[in-house]
Amino acid sequence: MPARLVDSLAAEGKTEAFPIQQDTLPDTLAGRDVLGRGKTGSGKTLAFSIPMVARLGDDARGSRRPQRPRGMVLAPTRELATQIDAVLKPLAAEYGMRTTTIFGGVSAGKQISALRSGVDIIVACPGRLEDLLQQRALTLDEIEITVLDEADHMADLGFLPGVTRLLQKTPADGQRMFFSATLDNGVDKLVKRFLHNEVLHSVDEATSHVSAMTHHVFEVSNDDKKPLIAKLASGTGKRILFTRTKHQAKRLAKQLTTQGIPARDLHGDLSQGQRDRNLGAFGDGDVRVLVATDVAARGVHVDSVELVVHVDPPAEHKAYLHRSGRTARAGSAGDVVTVVLPEQRKDTRDLLRKAAVKVSPISVTADSDEVTRLVGSLAPHVEPAPRAPQQQQGQGRGRSGGRSSGRGAQGQGAGSSGGRRRRGGQSRRSGGRSYAGR
């Protein structure tokens, strides 16, 4: 490795390579195509960031051109793209290179402006990248190194057709690095089509779970579930609570905050700005509890998450492994709790068997010794901030009030007319409500 990258990583306390990095770096630094398989939290981001920066950095000076990046990383989610860029950016800066992220949910203006001013490496989600290509905001003709991260999750989300189109636009003789936990759902076809004379490095089996992770299954009655969740959330360390739906995540975060346990939610209904703020507050330690849907199960890396709680068992074993992988990362220890209602016993047993997790369920309440030992010291109660008073309906002369008055007058007019006129009035009123709803 170049000395300047070794020094940059050492300044961050990173002095020893993880197995996936040890295995892949000799080949990737030499320019070989690589297929890397490794469990979540195994250090894959640095495994491809180091060779990408090292190889592009050798001739970075004077080579940057507007709208023509030379390195591309494709990621399935905004959160993962943001975190990959956070790893890449300081390494690229050692060579005077620039990086930028490209994904939806935010204005494309800043992304287009960055591309016009010239960037060396883009970290992108497929959908927005294709949009910008159609707008001719960039070209992939000069991409020298392409990375596909979390390829199996790309497949799960239905992104492979878009990924295929993007890879077709890159030079066939460029270096390509694919990282994936599994090769199912069409990932194998991408490998056969786009990797040339590749080297396979497989650090873990697809169903492997982190050895430093301790799994627990707490069986609980319906009445005891809420107190148990609150107790699990009340410790002093960082913890992520996973729910199945966006509504549940939003509601649980509010409930915990009201109970004196500050929490933030993370799910697909939030704007990108809200997601960044909530994840930032959790990462910085302003709040210790993040309540999330599976949007956070891939790619979200926050240091020192000591506990993951499956408030609702996930639908399938891969989701269990990726949710659980938010703890016990980078050599740290962590605990994983799955909360199971009586009617969920069989499905959870099948789920854990497929995930190759062996754990004996125990029946608990919030006051059980097993729960108390796991939670440890309780965090101080935090009084929730008072809610801002809401403006009463009917006050003011807003636009909605004008539309409401219009509908009322329209209704009166319809009532004094014949049948045909009345049906027309109803149709217009329905249209007005539909518009307001949108």
pLDDT at site 289? 95
Task: Say which DSSP state 296 is in.
Answer: G
Residues 80, 340, 228, CA angle at the centre, nearest 5°? 85
Burial of 142: CB neighbours in 10 Å, binned 0-12, 13-18, 19+ = middle
- pLDDT band at residue 434, thresholds of 50, 70 and 90? very low
Q: Is 24 helix (H, G, I), strand (E, B) or coil?
A: helix
How far apart CA 191 and CA 197 sit, in angstroms, is: 10
- Give the model confidence (pLDDT) of 297-318 as tens digits: 565 667 778 899 999 999 888 8
Q: Is 427 helix (H, G, I), strand (E, B) or coil?
A: helix
How far apart CA 398 and CA 390 sit, in angstroms, is: 15
CB contact set of 279 (below 8 Å; sequence gap of 6+): 79, 264, 266, 290, 296, 300, 302
How far apart CA 123 and CA 71 sit, in angstroms, is: 9
346, pLDDT greater than 90? yes
- Asked whether the domain spanning 213-375 has the same topology as the one spanning 3-202, the reply is yes
In DSSP terms, 307 is beta-bridged to 239, 335
Residues making up the chain, counted from first to last: 438
CB contact set of 235 (below 8 Å; sequence gap of 6+): 288, 306, 307, 375, 376, 377, 378, 379
**Mean pLDDT confidence for 248-275:** 91
424, pLDDT greater than 60? no
421, pLDDT greater than 70? no
For the chain, domain boundaries: 3-202, 213-375
* Annotation: CATH topology of 213-375: Rossmann fold (3.40.50)
Contact, 265 vs 271, CB < 8 A? no
Domain spanning 3-202: CATH 3.30.300.130: no
134, pLDDT greater than 70? yes
- pLDDT band at residue 423, thresholds of 50, 70 and 90? very low
pLDDT at site 207? 47
pLDDT at site 396? 43
324, pLDDT greater than 60? yes
pLDDT at site 115? 97
**Chain-wide mean pLDDT for the chain?**
83
Between the alpha carbon of residue 386 and those of residues 255, 257, 258, 379, 389, the distances in Å are 14, 11, 10, 21, 9
**Mean pLDDT confidence for 407-435:** 38
CB contact set of 145 (below 8 Å; sequence gap of 6+): 51, 52, 55, 56, 70, 71, 72, 174, 175, 176, 177
Packed helices 44-57 and 19-29: angle between N→C axes, nearest 10 degrees: 20
Contact, 247 vs 368, CB < 8 A? no
- pLDDT band at residue 348, thresholds of 50, 70 and 90? very high
358, pLDDT greater than 70? yes
Between the alpha carbon of residue 422 and those of residues 138, 417, 429, the distances in Å are 55, 6, 11
* % of the chain with per-residue pLDDT over 70: 81
Contact, 231 vs 258, CB < 8 A? no
pLDDT at site 186? 83
* % of the chain with per-residue pLDDT over 90: 57
In which element (H, E) is residue 401 found? helix 399-415
411, pLDDT greater than 80? no
- The DSSP string of 307-359 is EEEESS--SSHHHHHHHHTTSS-TT--EEEEEEE-GGGHHHHHHHHHHTT---
pTM, whole model, 2 decimals? 0.63
pLDDT at site 400? 39
